[in-house]
């Protein structure tokens, strides 16, 4: 497989826009598209209708703002401020507060499967600067001792509408597991406020839709085959929602006879090892979908399905190493498998 280098969480998901749609040069079906490079990813924004251009400009501004806010290496960023605050409170935006709140919910419900303070481990393994390295057990143990998401304090000040966050002085966090999901939420909101009623954003694989297609039909989102990059596993039909995939097969490096991928298990400090190759989450909230896709991958097939049964609020597509595709029952009418090399079942 070809090695791919991206600093944020890899998403194994491609977008089918159904461009056979006949578009007029103007009016409500007019399509406008733009590309933005942010978060080390080429992002594609598409909007329809008379307000399309204004909507794209608004979405681009939101994405660039979040890119600057969430870069851990940028001294003026919010993340840098949190990681270098030595335990002091840092004022944060509503977007950062939302990401922390969603991540904390999933952290608590999943038993810590999603932990934003694994950033020192990602740095140690070389997944941040692409200087890949297999750490020693002692180095992993030291990095694990810095996990402290359970000690993060997020404070809301309703009278001013502001928030602050504090982290133990030895901790560092990253929003890699939430950034694109929150950016897609914010981009869609910006398009909506600009008067766009039909649009779609693809942020490095995170796909989020606004309304339906101009002809009133559902969007068709293609899920990449984790065993054959660049080919379809299947297609899911969706309305207004987010579709986010996490997988082990795009960001990795070999060391000896073992290949190590970027999704770290917070309980071990090593890349997650279970029977899953990818997890796709379909959820109305893009930030939550991003959080869940990582957590469900770390949990593995059985625990991920138990999580879904317990908490609900989303559907998912699990692809396993033994060529099975397991979908939750909400996708019975919406997911079509296009690769007969897999067996498909729907879970109750």
- Give the Cβ contact number of residue 85 at 10 Å: 15
Residue 15 has pLDDT above 90, yes or no: no
Per-residue confidence (pLDDT) for residue 205, from 0 to 100: 72
Residue 135 has pLDDT above 50, yes or no: yes
Query: Is residue 240 packed enough to be buried (19+ CB in 10 Å), middle (13-18) or exposed (0-12)?
Result: middle
As given in the structure block, the two tokens for residue 260 are 């190590």
CATH fold of 13-68+178-347: T-fold (3.10.520)
Residue 3 has pLDDT above 70, yes or no: no
Distance of CA 17 to the CA centre of its chain: 20
Domain residue spans of the chain = 13-68+178-347, 73-166
**What Å distances lie between residue 59 and 26, 31, 44, 46, 181, CA to CA?**
21, 15, 11, 10, 14
Separation of alpha carbons 209 and 202, rounded Å: 9
> Any bridge partners for residue 162, and if so which?
157
Which residues, in sequence order, are CB contacts of 122 under 8 Å at separation 6+? 128, 174, 176, 262, 264
Domain formed by 73-166, architecture = Orthogonal Bundle (1.10)
Separation of alpha carbons 6 and 113, rounded Å: 22
| Cβ atoms of residues 49 and 43 within 8 Å | no
Separation of alpha carbons 333 and 348, rounded Å: 14
- The alpha carbon torsion through 34, 286, 143, 137 (nearest 10 deg) reads -90
pLDDT digits (tens, 9 = 90+) for 216-260: 999 999 998 999 888 889 999 999 999 999 998 767 799 988 999
Is the pTM higher than 0.95? The answer reads no
| Cβ atoms of residues 280 and 325 within 8 Å | no
| Cβ atoms of residues 253 and 17 within 8 Å | no
Least confident residue range of 79-88, 103-112, 256-265: 256-265
User: 198 vs 203, which has greater pLDDT?
Assistant: 198
> Any bridge partners for residue 238, and if so which?
219
> Any bridge partners for residue 175, and if so which?
none
């Amino acid at each position: 497989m070809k090695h791919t280098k991206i600093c944020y969480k890899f998403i194994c998901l491609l977008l089918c826009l159904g461009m056979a749609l006949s578009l007029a040069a103007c009016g409500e079906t007019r399509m406008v598209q733009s590309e933005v490079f942010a978060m080390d990813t080429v992002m594609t924004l598409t909007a329809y209708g008379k307000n399309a251009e204004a909507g794209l400009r608004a979405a681009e501004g939101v994405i660039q703002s979040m890119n600057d806010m969430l870069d851990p290496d940028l001294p003026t960023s919010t993340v840098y401020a949190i990681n270098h605050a030595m335990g002091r409170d840092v004022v944060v935006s509503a977007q950062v507060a939302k990401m922390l709140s969603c991540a904390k919910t999933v952290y608590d419900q999943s038993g810590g499967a999603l932990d934003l303070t694994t950033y020192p481990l990602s740095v140690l393994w070389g997944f941040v600067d692409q200087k890949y390295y297999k750490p020693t057990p002692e180095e992993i143990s030291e990095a694990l001792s810095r996990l402290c998401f359970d000690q993060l304090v997020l404070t809301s000040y309703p009278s001013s509408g502001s928030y602050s966050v504090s982290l133990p002085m030895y901790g560092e966090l990253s929003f890699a597991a939430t950034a694109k999901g929150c950016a897609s939420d914010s981009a869609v909101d910006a398009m909506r406020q600009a008067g766009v009623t039909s649009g779609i954003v693809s942020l490095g694989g995170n796909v989020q839709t606004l309304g339906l297609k101009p002809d009133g039909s559902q969007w068709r989102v293609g899920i990449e085959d984790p065993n054959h990059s660049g080919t379809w596993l299947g297609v899911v039909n969706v309305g207004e929602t987010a579709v986010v995939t996490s997988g082990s097969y795009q960001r990795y490096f070999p060391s000896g006879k073992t290949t190590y991928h970027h999704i770290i298990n917070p309980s071990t400090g090593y890349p997650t090892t279970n029977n899953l190759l990818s997890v796709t989450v379909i959820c109305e909230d893009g930030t939550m979908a991003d959080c869940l896709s990582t957590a469900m991958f770390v949990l593995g097939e059985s625990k991920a399905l138990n999580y879904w049964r317990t908490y609900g609020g989303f559907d998912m597509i699990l692809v396993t190493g033994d060529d099975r595709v397991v979908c939750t029952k909400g996708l019975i009418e919406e997911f079509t498998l296009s690769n007969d090399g897999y067996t498909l079942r729907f879970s109750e």
